[in-house]
Structure 1
Amino acid sequence: MSDKSLKDLQQEVHEYISQFKEGYFSPLAMMARMSEEVGELAREVNHRFGEKPKKATEEENSIELELGDILFITICFANSLGIDLAEAHDKIMHKFRTRDADRWTRVDT
């Protein structure tokens, strides 16, 4: 198990991408890539939990790897736009905690 923070992950991806002259893809290209990766995740989930088994000719893949691909492209997208994902996370959690405070049935503790 890794103890990397979002900041660590963003830095690691930035160091990786910075090795290449091409750098980050354009936002539109990253959006297309993200859509493609989400589609691949949907396919894996359908194979595992849905009614569509994998064909014998299809590559072995995993939900874990597809989520990793989505995380990577999300980090690339954020880095290219100068977005701190930890800050974005905090803002979203605040939104859910306030907007949806009474939306769901709480577990008794």
Structure 2
Amino acid sequence: MNYTTKDIQKRVDDYISQFKEGYFSPLSLQARLTEEVGEMAREINHRYGEKPKKSTEEDKALEEELGDVIFVLTCFANSLDIDLSNAFEQSMSKIETRDKDRWTRKEGGMKGE
């Protein structure tokens, strides 16, 4: 299934809205996001780094860890009434301007050029 950021934000909000507790505070969400990114980093280190898993450790999919990061990041955005599409657009515009000459371009440049 292909989701837009709007779809993702609505699905997360529909889920969280079922519960009286609602979204965690921004500080708790930051801690949770850090935890999820750490779990993703651990999985990457096991797969591509020098630290193999212990035989007792569960094999988690990197895709699952990335999904957890997206879920918590979406909770964060929703709790602060931030549109992820707008946040992404602001970030890409900044990066495309700031870093336009930072890297060696492939022949043909960017799509649409």
Cα separation, 2, equivalents of 1:31 and 1:75: 12
How many Å separate the matches in 2 of 1:29 and 1:105?
Answer: 40
Runs of 4+ in 1 over 6 A off after TM superposition: none
Specify the alignment match of 1:103 in structure 2: 102
Aligned to 1:76: 75
Q: Which moved more, 1:83-92 or 1:51-60?
A: 51-60
List alignment gaps of at least 5 residues for structure 2: 109-113
The Cα shift of 1:6 comes to 0.2
Number of equivalences:
108
What is the alpha-carbon distance in structure 1 between the residues aligned to residue 6 and residue 75 of structure 2?
A: 12
Secondary structure in 1 matching 2:59 = coil
The Cα offsets for residues 22-73 of structure 1, whole Å up to 9 and x where unpaired, read as 1000000000000101110111001000111111111120111110000000
Measure the CA separation in 2 of the matches of 1:5 and 1:11.
10
Residue type of the partner of 1:41? M
Matches within 5 A, 1:78-97: 78-97=77-96
CA distance in 2, matches of 1:43, 1:10: 27
What does residue range 2-81 of structure 1 map to in structure 2 within 5 Å? Answer: 2-81=1-80
Distance 2:35 2:84 in 1: 21
TM-score (norm 2): 0.93
Measure, in 2, the Cα distance between the counterparts of 1:3 and 1:58.
Answer: 32
Inter-partner Cα distance in structure 1 for 2:64 and 2:2: 18
What's the TM-score once normalised by structure 1's chain length?
0.97
Counterpart CA distance in 1 for 2:42 and 2:96 is 32
